[in-house]
Amino acid sequence: MTPALQGLLTIAIGVTGCVGYFYLSNQFLDKILFPPRGPNAGRNINRANMIRPWLFLFPAMAALGLYLAYPVVETLRLSLTERVPGGGYRWVGLDNYTQMAAEPKFWEAMRNNMFWLIVVPAMSTAFGLLVAQLTDRIRWGNLAKSLIFMPMAISFVGASVIWKLVYDARPAEQDQIGILNALYIFFGGTEPQTWLTIPFWNSFFLMIVLVWIQTGFAMVILSAALRGIPEETVEAAILDGANPFQIFFKIKVPQIKTTILVVWTTITITVLKVFDIVFAMTNGQWETQVLANYMYDKLFRANDWGVGSASAMVIMLLVTPILIWNVRNARKEME
C-alpha cells in the first residue's frame, strides 16, 4: 500500500474512530449503563454526568500521559541505569552524570547554551519591541510586520540553508557569493572569513539565525500589548512634556512588563530545545555544541542511552523553573 493511501486511510480511520468512540461511549453511558428513566432516573443522571467528563478526556489524557508524562519518568530512570550487553539494565546511580561532567564537550555545550539563553531571548525581544514600536504608527506598518514575521513559517533547516549562503566564503581572489563576506571585503576586509569556523564567535553567527526566526513572534505579541496600553497614560505624559523616548521607556515598557516576560520565557524554552540549526550548520564542530545536539549525538551516534538521558534531564532541569512559573500563573488566572 502506498504511504499516501495509508495516510488517507489513517485520516479516515482516525477521524471515524475518534467520533465513533465519543458517540458510542456516550450512547452506552446514557442508554445502557445509567438510563435516565425508571426508579433511579435521578441518581442515574448524576452518575452519568460524573463519568462523562472522563469519556471526553480519556483519549487526550492517554496521549499526554504516554507521550509526555511517562517519558519524563522513564528518562530519569534511564539516566540512572546502564544498558547491559545482551539486554536489560543495570542500576548505576549517578555514574552517567559524573561521566558526563567529565566530558569537555558537555561543558562546551553548557557554556554555549548559557550564551544562547542570554543572547537569543534578549535580542529577539529587543528587536521585536523595536519593530512593534516603530511600525505602530506608520501606514505600511502591517506590511513591514508581515515581512519580519515571515521567518516564523520557515523551518530551522530551511533557515540554516538561507544563512549558510549568507555566511559563505570563497577564496580571496574570487568574487564573494556570501553577502556577509562581500560586505566585509567592501568595507575594507582583506581576507574573506569562514564565519562558522571561528571559535567562540561562530556560536553567535548561529544564534543570529534563531533571533531572525523568533523576532517575529516577539513582535506580534508585543505589538498587541502596546496597542492595549490605555491612551490616557500616554496623553498625560505628552501633556507633561515627555519626549518620545521617555514615553517609550518610562510609560509604555513598564506597562507591558509581564508580556515582555512571557515572550522572554517562551523564547527561552525554544532556545533550550534548539537542535536543527546546530545540527544542520556545524553539527557541533568548531566548538558550537549545544545541549540538544549533544544529547542527540549521545543517543543516536554514540548509542549511549545513559549519558544521553542524563543530558536530557539537564535540559528538563533548566526548563523546570519556567514550568513552575507557568503553572502558578495559570492557576492564578483561573481563580
Interaction with another protein in 199-258: which residues (CB under 8 A)? 212, 215, 217, 220-221, 224, 231, 234-235, 238, 244, 247, 258
d(CA 144, CA 166): 22
Residue 161 found at the interface with another protein (CB under 8 A): yes
Selected range binding another protein among 39-47, 98-106, 195-203, 316-324, rule: CB under 8 A: 316-324
Among 152, 191, 285, 301, binds another protein (CB under 8 A): 152
What region, left, alpha or beta, does residue 331 occupy, with left being phi > 0 and alpha being psi -120 to 50 degrees?
alpha
Contact flag: residue 28 with another protein (CB under 8 A): no
Residue 322 in the binding site for another protein (CB under 8 A): yes
Residue 269 binds another protein, judged by CB under 8 A: yes
User: Quick check: 292 binds another protein (CB under 8 A)?
Assistant: yes
CA distance 294 to 275: 9
Considering the complex, state which of residue 33 and residue 161 has its C-beta at the smaller distance from another protein. Answer: 161
What residues between 53 and 112 interact with another protein by CB under 8 A? 53-54, 56-57, 59-61, 63-64, 66-72, 74-75, 78
**Nearer to another protein among residue 206 and residue 263 (C-beta):** 263
With binding defined as CB under 8 A, does residue 138 bind another protein? yes
Of residues 15, 19, 21, 25, the one with CA closest to residue 52: 25
Q: Does 189 bind another protein (CB under 8 A)?
A: no
- 1 binds another protein, rule: CB under 8 A: no
Q: DSSP letter for 298, please.
A: I
How much helix, strand and coil, in percent to the nearest 5, is found in the chain? Answer: 75, 0, 20
CB of 288 to another protein, least distance (A): 15
Burial class (CB in 10 A: 0-12, 13-18, 19+), 117: middle
Shortest spacing between CB 43 and another protein, in angstroms: 17
From candidates 80, 196, 206, 272, binder to another protein by CB under 8 A? 272
Say how many C-beta atoms besides its own lie within 10 A of residue 215's C-beta: 26
Candidates 19-27, 92-100, 117-125, 190-198; binding stretch for another protein (CB under 8 A): 19-27
Give the closest residue to 281 by CA, choosing from 145, 115, 136, 160.
Answer: 160
Which is nearer to another protein, 44 or 135 (by Cβ)? 135
Contact between 275 and another protein (CB under 8 A)?
yes
The one-letter amino acid at 248? F
Q: What angle do CA 209, 210, 215 make, to 5 degrees?
A: 110
Backbone φ/ψ region at 236: left (φ over 0), alpha (ψ -120 to 50), beta: alpha
What is the distance between the alpha carbons of residues 256 and 227, in angstroms, rounded to a whole number?
Answer: 10
Among 207, 263, 290, 310, binds another protein (CB under 8 A): 263
Q: Which is nearer to another protein, 78 or 120 (CB)?
A: 78
